[in-house]
Amino acid sequence: MTLSSLDERTAAIPTRLGALHVRQVGRGRTTVLWPSMFVDSHTWDRLLPLLPRDRHYVLVDGPGLGLSQPLTRESDIPEAAAAAVDLLEGLSVSEPVDWVGNAFGGHVGFELATRPGVLRSLAAVSAPTEPVSAEIRRSIRVLRPLLRALGPVRPVRAAILDAMLTDASRADAQVRGVVLASLGRPSRTSLSLAVASFILNRVDVNDILGDIRVPSLFVASDDRGDWSPQDAAAAARRTPDARVETVVGARTLIPLEQPRALALLLQSFWAEVDAHPSAGSA
């Protein structure tokens, strides 16, 4: 099965953070794939053909990113979660969904998983539960004026590629090309506002993990310093029904870098949720 063989439908769904561009594939249980910051739904393209076909996949471009409507003001992750609820309502999805979030998408998922009836399960992939470190914050504040004035010029691109991909992945023209193409879709202003909203304004969510009442899978990589396997395991211990797994050979963009490994983890996780459906009904 290849992505081109799938029945893809696109739509722009109004939300409180502007219309979100989505690509929909398949029919069945709704599964939302929400990507990392800086990139868009195409970071799931290598993973999607490896997933079960009997599902309705909703691949999202985050607020202000990809082909979604540009942001016009700063926001934060709780408001992005509220926009995700708007999105589900706009798609007429009434049943709890399986949520797969990479980095930014995982942060949105943490918020949604505390709200009754929104999620059936949560897979948070390379999604630190702490705010960005002081070092990363300083780097972003240096690069953000360049991004706002000139867009993703070489120093900005280099910093983003380094933060998101391992050395081996950066050397892969196909993988690197997905990231660079994603960076080229939003406007400079929108991308800058998204950085402020969903990176600089990110807060510590460890205190809400105990309120999550859906089965959760926390996926760390072996090469992301700010969410190590140990960090993910500590977050899982704070969460009532969570397991943790580690994917080797990836940094932030695990779905793009190691799609087969992630697909196997998701299929195993969903099989467990299916076997105990009451666990995902909170």
Domain harbouring 179, CATH code: 3.40.50.1820
Domain count, the chain: 1
* Token pair 């696109």 in the structure block, residue: 10
- Give the count of beta carbons closer than 10 Å to the beta carbon of residue 12: 15
Which long-range CB contacts under 8 A does 273-276 form with residues at least 24 apart? 273/98, 273/120, 273/121, 273/215, 276/215
Q: Is 246 in a helix, a strand, or coil? A: strand
Terminal CA-to-CA distance of the chain, rounded, Å?
34
CA 232 vs CA 2, 169, 221: distances in Å: 32, 22, 9
**Which residues touch 116 (CB under 8 Å, ≥6 apart)?**
213, 282
Residue ranges in 54-133 assigned as alpha helix (H): 77-90, 104-113
- Name the 3-class secondary structure at 18: coil
Range of the domain at 92: 3-280
Q: Are 223 and 250 in contact (CB under 8 A)?
A: yes
Rounded CA separation 35/22 (Å):
11
pLDDT tens series, the chain, 282 aa? 444 456 899 999 999 999 999 999 999 999 999 999 999 999 999 999 999 999 999 999 999 999 999 999 999 999 999 999 999 999 999 999 999 999 999 999 999 999 999 999 999 999 999 999 988 899 898 889 999 999 999 999 999 999 999 999 999 999 999 999 999 999 999 999 999 999 999 999 999 999 999 999 999 999 998 999 999 999 999 999 999 999 999 999 999 999 999 999 999 999 999 998 765 554
Q: What is the pTM of this model?
A: 0.95
Residue 188: how many CB atoms within 10 A of its CB?
A: 15
Strands, E assignment, 61-201: 97-102, 119-125
Beta strands in 127-241 (DSSP E): 216-221
